[in-house]
Amino acid sequence: MKDHITTCLEDIGWGLAAYVISEHPATRNVILGTRPHVSRPRRARALRFEVGGRVVHAAYVHPRQQAERFSRQGPA
């Protein structure tokens, strides 16, 4: 994802403005979150992931991505 992110710092007269621009296809899902959906393995028989520090294998899951609202306007 890092290859799809650019940053810009601009003098706007009365201060500085910082911009972060992402062109990665998953950016919208990370910022806004997703509804529950089925995820299945593409090239294996099971998915592998960690839950609470334990490794779990599953044929499919119904995950929901919580929104990561880190992109807020700063103080004025």
HSE (CB half, 13 Å, CA atoms) of 22? Answer: 11
Give the pLDDT confidence score for residue 63 in this predicted structure.
Answer: 72
Q: Give the model confidence (pLDDT) of 33-57 as tens digits.
A: 888 888 888 898 888 888 899 998 8
In the predicted model, what is the mean pLDDT of residues 54-76? 73
Q: Taking the complete model, does pTM exceed 0.75, yes or no?
A: no
Q: What is the pLDDT of residue 11?
A: 92
pLDDT at site 74: 56
Q: Quick one: pLDDT at residue 9?
A: 92
Amino acid occupying residue 29: N
